[in-house]
Amino acid sequence: MSTWRNRAECAIAHGALTNSKRPSAFVDGVYPTHISRGHGAHVWDGDGKKYLDFCCANGTNLVGYGHVTLAEAAFHAYREGSLFTLGSTLEVLAAEKAKELWPCIDKLRFLKTGTEGCSAAIKIARAATGRQEILSEGYHGWADGFVSMTPPAHGCASGGEVWKLCSLEEITKKTAAVIVEPINLDSSLDRKKYLYQLKARCTDVGALLIFDEVITGFRVPKLSVSRLWGVTPDLIVLGKAIGGGLPLAIVGGKREIMECSDEYFVSSTFAGDRTALATFLALSDLLHSSSYQVPELWDTGLYFLDRFNGISELVQIEGYPTRGAFRGHPEILGKFWQECCKAGIIFGASWFWCFPHRDVQNVIEVCEEAIWKVKRGVRLEGHLPQSPFASKVRSPSG
Ligand code: PMP
């Protein structure tokens, strides 16, 4: 057991800050447990061993760890004061930029995390509609209402829950809002059609449509699914990659919804932190430069996925070109990840593609070799990865 792991287990509850970073989420015993630094798409563990990282810090790393332009923007903002007693001129500039990037936003609030953004979105939706019921598809953070969908939800207040969306007919005049990730893994035409139907159903019954674009924001061409597919939600939530590695989230949408009342309470001391707003602005500029074109990232990611999924039926990545999830028998996946990790590649349940991931050929060769070893019956040297999520999800009907 590594020293860092021992020390973490003594000082940090359950040894990790998020479930997805627990040693048990990887091949425990083979994977490193702590990272000391990163550069581009690479990270170094506590012992100085270098790995190519395909988890991208839960999808936050888009242009590379320690990117100089973003680091300078953050440094400059901090040197001039990271947070003020009054609003900052930078937050106004950043809000204007966000409106430009995501035209479904008339008005917004900055927050720090995806959980804050999604919690604010459903609160605003309830305030705007005067209705209570929220229907949801997928994960939207760890707030009580959301997490209470995944029993056992020890410690959650009861009431005010969010129910799982099972069919369009469940959306009624009682529904305040439906919150979905517009693309979770499925970016097919069918999904696009479904989103149009979802939007129409919500409009018919007066329910609001919330797009949780915490992951898709900045990761798809046109920088959001709503823009890419021309489906306009009433509210949008963004997070993860938009801060360029610093914590930043946005909840925004139609003016009459965002300003439905002075009485809803969304308030966060660090929301206006200028370091993250500065990296957001610097990253937005980068994404408009010729070196960081998301459509090109999409193309290289697609090329990687095609090559990867062509290696073996045994291990597949399901998803879209910048984000996916591994599919395969748990034991085979565990052994495959183990061999990749030993060869210097970190894979996890979620797969992310970022700009510095350029060397497709080398990665494919490592993956081919790992599959070959799995087929030859390599021994599992650690424990099989455990899902960070509970598996059951409640629905209004039971
Ligand atoms: N929404 C989605 C779609 C997410 O994937 C996540 C985090 N994985 C969240 C919301 C919550 O974001 P955070 O962890 O920043 O609170």
pLDDT digits (tens, 9 = 90+) for 272-298: 999 999 999 999 999 999 999 999 999
Query: What's the pLDDT at 396?
Result: 38
Closest to 200 measured CA to CA, from 233, 163, 236: 233
CA of 109 from ligand 1 middle (Å) equals: 17
Which of 63-67, 140-144, 242-246, 264-268 is least confident? 140-144
Q: Is the pLDDT of residue 83 over 60?
A: yes
Grade residue 149 by pLDDT with cuts at 50, 70 and 90.
Answer: low
Q: How far apart are CA 251 and CA 253, in angstroms?
A: 7
Tell me the helices (H) and strands (E) count for the chain, helix number first: 13, 14
Evaluate: CB of 118 within 6 angstroms of ligand 1.
yes
Query: What's the pLDDT at 148?
Result: 65
pLDDT in tens, 328-361: 999 999 999 999 999 999 999 999 999 999 889 9
Q: What pairing do the DSSP bridges indicate for beta strands 249-253 and 235-238?
A: antiparallel
pLDDT in tens, 222-271: 999 999 999 999 999 999 999 999 999 999 999 999 999 878 999 999 99
Q: How far apart are CA 270 and CA 332, in angstroms?
A: 44
**Spatial contact of 284 and 97, defined as CB atoms under 8 Å apart:** yes
CA of 94 from ligand 1 middle (Å) equals: 21
**Spatial contact of 175 and 144, defined as CB atoms under 8 Å apart:** no
CA of 219 from ligand 1 middle (Å) equals: 14
Which of 97-106, 170-179, 252-261, 384-393 is least confident? 384-393
Query: What's the pLDDT at 151?
Result: 64
CA of 215 from ligand 1 middle (Å) equals: 7
Query: What's the pLDDT at 358?
Result: 87
Q: Is the pLDDT of residue 153 over 60?
A: yes
Evaluate: CB of 139 within 6 angstroms of ligand 1.
yes
Evaluate: CB of 181 within 6 angstroms of ligand 1.
yes
**What's the chain's length in residues?**
398
Mean pLDDT along residues 366-381: 98
- First-to-final CA distance of the chain: 43
- Which residue has a Cα nearest atom 7 of ligand 1? 141
- Which residue has a Cα nearest atom 5 of ligand 1? 215
CA of 289 from ligand 1 middle (Å) equals: 27
Which of 26-40, 47-61, 144-158, 224-238 is least confident? 144-158
CA–CA distances in Å: residue 306 to residues 112, 264, 283, 319: 35, 47, 28, 11
Evaluate: CB of 140 within 6 angstroms of ligand 1.
yes
DSSP 46-87: TT--EEEESSHHHHT-SS-BT-HHHHHHHHHHHHT-S--SS-
Query: What's the pLDDT at 391?
Result: 45
Cis amide bond preceding 152, omega within 30? yes
Evaluate: CB of 239 within 6 angstroms of ligand 1.
yes
Tokens standing for residue 15 = 């040894």
Query: What's the pLDDT at 395?
Result: 41
Among 112, 183, 240, 320, residue to substitute to test ligand 1 (most atoms within 8 Å of Cβ): 240
Query: What's the pLDDT at 152?
Result: 66
Counting from 1 in the atom list of ligand 1, the atom nearest the Cα of 112 is 15
Counting from 1 in the atom list of ligand 1, the atom nearest the Cα of 181 is 3
**Spatial contact of 249 and 111, defined as CB atoms under 8 Å apart:** yes
CA of 111 from ligand 1 middle (Å) equals: 13
Query: What's the pLDDT at 6?
Result: 95
Query: What's the pLDDT at 398?
Result: 31
Tokens standing for residue 391 = 């598996």
Counting from 1 in the atom list of ligand 1, the atom nearest the Cα of 138 is 3
Mean pLDDT along residues 76-95: 98
Query: How many Cβ atoms are within 10 Å of 120's Cβ, its own excluded?
Result: 25
Query: How many Cβ atoms are within 10 Å of 196's Cβ, its own excluded?
Result: 12
Provide the residue type at 92 as one letter. Answer: V
- Which residue has a Cα nearest atom 1 of ligand 1? 140
Q: Is the pLDDT of residue 112 over 90?
A: yes
- How many Cα atoms occupy the beta-carbon half-sphere of 185 within 13 Å? 14
Mean pLDDT along residues 372-396: 78
Evaluate: CB of 214 within 6 angstroms of ligand 1.
yes
Rounding to the nearest 10 degrees, give the CA dihedral for residues 283, 284, 285, 291: 70
CA of 242 from ligand 1 middle (Å) equals: 13
**Spatial contact of 43 and 57, defined as CB atoms under 8 Å apart:** no
Query: What's the pLDDT at 259?
Result: 97
Evaluate: CB of 113 within 6 angstroms of ligand 1.
yes
Query: What's the pLDDT at 215?
Result: 98
Q: How far apart are CA 220 and CA 73, in angstroms?
A: 24
Evaluate: CB of 213 within 6 angstroms of ligand 1.
no
pLDDT in tens, 182-214: 999 999 999 999 999 999 999 999 999 999 999
